Amino acid sequence: MSEQMISLTIDGVQVEVPAGTSVLEAAKQAGINIPTLCYLKDINAIGACRMCVVETGGRALQAACVLPATNGMNVKTNTPKLRAYRKTLLELVLSAHDKKCLTCVRSQNCELQKLCKDLGVENGDAYAGKQNQYDVDDASPCIVRDNNKCILCRRCVAVCSKVQNVGVIGPVNRGFNTAIESPWNMKLAQMGCINCGQCITACPVGALHEKDSTDVVWSYLADPDLHVVVQPAPAVRAALGEEFGIPMGTSVTGKMAAALRRLGFDRVFDTDFGADLTIMEEANELIARLQNGGVLPMITSCSPGWIKYCETYYPEFLDNLSTCKSPHEMLGAVIKSYYAEKAGIDPAKIRVVSVMPCTAKKFEAGRAELSANGYPDVDAVVTTRELARMIKQAGIDFNALPDEDFDDLLGESTGAGVIFGATGGVMEAALSTAYETITGSKLENVEFQAVRGIEGIKEATVDIGGTPVSVAVANSTGCASKLLDAVKRGEKQYTFIEIMGCPGGCVNGGGQPIVPSQVRMTCDPRVLRAQALYQEDADKPLRKSHENPEIKQIYDEYLGKPNSHRAHELLHTTYEKRPLYTE
C-alpha cells in the first residue's frame, strides 16, 4: 500500500510530504529552518516555548512542531510579525534567566545563546524584573542541576520519563513559580536517578551538566610523586573530534592517543583492551552457566546506568547480571596489580583516569566493591566533553596532531573491543568468543547483523555447536524495562541479554558531545558514531577478543585462565538492591 502524500506551500516553496508530517518537519525537508527551543526530535514536541510559531492565514499563530501539515496549506515562517514575536519571546525568557554566559559550561554550544544571536536580541534586560533564585543541586557525583539557567523547555523531563522510564524530574508549582524539580524537592542523589546523563544531552542550555572532575585530574598530573595512567573508552574516539569541528562519525583514535600523551599522562592504555578482557570473562561465564545450570538469562553488566536501574527498579534480576566488572574497571584493576608489578611501581602511587562517554561511570568509580588490593580500580572519570575542555585548556591543536598508538602491555585491542561502544557490540563480541570456545571451530563471519542497529529491542537465535541460543539486545532503560517485563510475564525466554543504559549505547552516552536539536533533525549521532566504530572494527587485523596477543599474555603470566580465582578477585563484582529514594 503506497504512502499517502500531501502537498502544501511553505514560504512560496511547494512541498510534498507523507500524511502525518508536522509543519516543522515538512519545512526542514524543504531546507527551511524554523527556530525551535523546546522541540527535540522523537522526544519532545509540545509547543510550549512558541519559538516555532508560523502563520497559516488565520489570526492565531500556531506552533509548527505540533501542527499537522494538510493539503493546500499555505505556511509563512519568516514574516516581520513572526520575527518580532520570536524576539520578544527570547527577551522574556532572558528576563528570568541567569545570564552568566561567559562562565557557563555551554557557552558557544547553547541553543538559547545561538537563537539570541541569530534573531538579533541586543538587550537581555528588556523585561528586567523579579527573578527566582534556586540552590544549585550538586549532591550527585555525576550530574549538576542549576534551575537558575532552566528555561522550562521540559526536554529533560521528556527524556527521563519517556525514553529512560525513570521519571525523577518534572514540573512543580504554576505560573512564574514553575520549576523542574524532583518529588518533594529532593536532590537527584536522593532519588532513583540512574546517572545516565540523558537529561544533560537533551538540555538546550546550561541548566544540567556533568560534575566536573578536570581539576582533580590536573592535580594528579601536576604531582611528581604520582604515576598517572589514562584509558579512553571505545565510544570516545567516535565522538571526540566533534568538539574540534571534525565531522560526526569520524574516528580520531590516533589523535586522541597523541592528545592524552601531550596532556602529561605517564601511560596511555586503552579501555578497548579492558573490553577484550571483559569478553574473555563474560563469554566463559555464559558458557559455565549454560553447562552447569546457572541462572539464565545472563544479562550484561557493562553499563553503570543500566546496573543502577536494575538495582533500583528490577532487583529481582540481580542474580541474572553477569558478575563481570565493566571494561574500564577491569583495566583499572589490572593496572594497579599486573601492570604495577611488571613496572615495579607501588599501586599506592598510581592514579587511573578513565575517559568515558558516560556520566554514570563517575558513580560507578566510587562504588566501594570496585577495588582491588585495597585501592579503587579507577580514581577519576572525565567525560568526552571534559577531555575536550582539558585539551583546549592546554592549548593543544587537536587537528594538527599526528596519529599515535597506545602504549604496549595494555594498549592492544581487537575489533570486538571497539564495537562495545555501540548497542549490540557486547553481544557480537561475546558470541564470537563463546562460539569458538565451545565448538573449537573458527567462526568465519564475525558480524552478527541481527543485533546491529538502533532499534530499541532486537532479538536473534544463534546456533552454537548445535545448540540454539536465544539472545536479545535492548538500548535505553525504557526499552530494557519493556524487555524485562516480557520476561517476567513469561512471554519471552532468552539465554543471553545485552542491555545498554543509553539509547544507541555508549556512542550516545550522557558524557558525549552535545548535538543541538536542529542538527538532530537531519542526522542521528547514534548511527554515525556507531558507523565509525564498525569501520574501525572492520579495519582491525584481529577481530575476536581471544586473539588479542596482550590478552593471551596476561592470562599466561598472571590470571591463569578466564574465571580463575585470581580473575574473580580482580575482575568480578557484586550488586545490591537500592531504594527508590533516601532521606
Catalytic residue among 182, 506, 536, 540: 506
Q: Active-site residue 447, yes or no?
A: no
Q: Active-site residue 506, yes or no?
A: yes
Q: Give me the domains of the chain, ranges plus CATH numbers.
A: 5-78 (3.10.20.740), 90-125+135-210 (3.30.70.20), 215-571 (3.40.50.1780)
**pLDDT tens across 124-174, in order?**
899 988 899 999 999 999 999 999 999 999 999 999 999 999 999 999 999
User: In a 10 Å sphere around its CB, with 0-12 CB exposed, 13-18 middle and 19+ buried, how is residue 31 labelled?
Assistant: exposed
- Of all helices (H) and strands (E), which one includes residue 460? strand 457-464
Confidence of residue 38 (pLDDT cuts 50, 70, 90): very high
The alpha carbon of residue 16 and the mean position of all alpha carbons in its chain are separated, in whole angstroms, by: 35
Please tell me the predicted confidence (pLDDT) of residue 372. Answer: 83
Q: Kindly write down the DSSP assignment for every residue of 383-440, as one continuous string.
A: EHHHHHHHHHHTT--GGGPPP-PPPSSS----HHHHGGGSTTHHHHHHHHHHHHHHH-
**pLDDT tens across 161-216, in order?**
999 999 999 999 999 999 999 999 899 999 999 999 999 999 999 999 999 999 99
Q: Which of 125-129, 351-355, 370-374 holds the top average pLDDT?
A: 351-355
The alpha carbon of residue 571 and the mean position of all alpha carbons in its chain are separated, in whole angstroms, by: 23
Looking at the predicted structure, is the pLDDT value of residue 34 above 50? yes
Confidence of residue 408 (pLDDT cuts 50, 70, 90): very high
Catalytic residue among 25, 311, 329, 364: 364
Catalytic residue among 91, 111, 285, 412: 285
Please tell me the predicted confidence (pLDDT) of residue 411. Answer: 97
Catalytic residue among 16, 316, 341, 369: 369
The half-sphere exposure of 23 on its side-chain side, counting CA atoms within 13 A, is 31
- Asked if 329 contacts 377 with a C-beta cutoff of 8 angstroms, the reply is yes
Please tell me the predicted confidence (pLDDT) of residue 530. Answer: 97
Q: Active-site residue 569, yes or no?
A: no
Give 211 or 430, the one with higher predicted confidence: 211
By mean pLDDT, which of 1-15, 44-58, 361-375, 389-403 is the weakest? 1-15
- 384 vs 382: CA distance, rounded Å: 7
Mean pLDDT in residue range 85-98: 96
pLDDT, averaged across the chain:
96
- 40 vs 417: CA distance, rounded Å: 32
Please tell me the predicted confidence (pLDDT) of residue 2. Answer: 60
Q: Active-site residue 386, yes or no?
A: no
Catalytic residue among 361, 362, 540, 544: 361
Please tell me the predicted confidence (pLDDT) of residue 513. Answer: 98
Mean pLDDT in residue range 64-88: 97
* Backbone phi, psi, residue 497, to 5°: -130, 130
DSSP letter at 134 equals: -
Please tell me the predicted confidence (pLDDT) of residue 1. Answer: 47
Mean pLDDT in residue range 535-561: 96
Q: Angle of helix 111-118 relative to helix 80-95, nearest 10 degrees?
A: 140
Q: 48: which 3 cell numbers?
A: 510550549
- Asked if 516 contacts 202 with a C-beta cutoff of 8 angstroms, the reply is no
**pLDDT tens across 559-581, in order?**
999 999 999 999 999 999 999 99
**pLDDT tens across 481-517, in order?**
999 999 999 999 999 999 999 999 999 999 999 999 9
Q: Active-site residue 322, yes or no?
A: yes
Q: Active-site residue 99, yes or no?
A: no
Catalytic residue among 282, 329, 386, 498: 282
Catalytic residue among 101, 150, 196, 302: 302
Q: 89: which 3 cell numbers?
A: 519571546
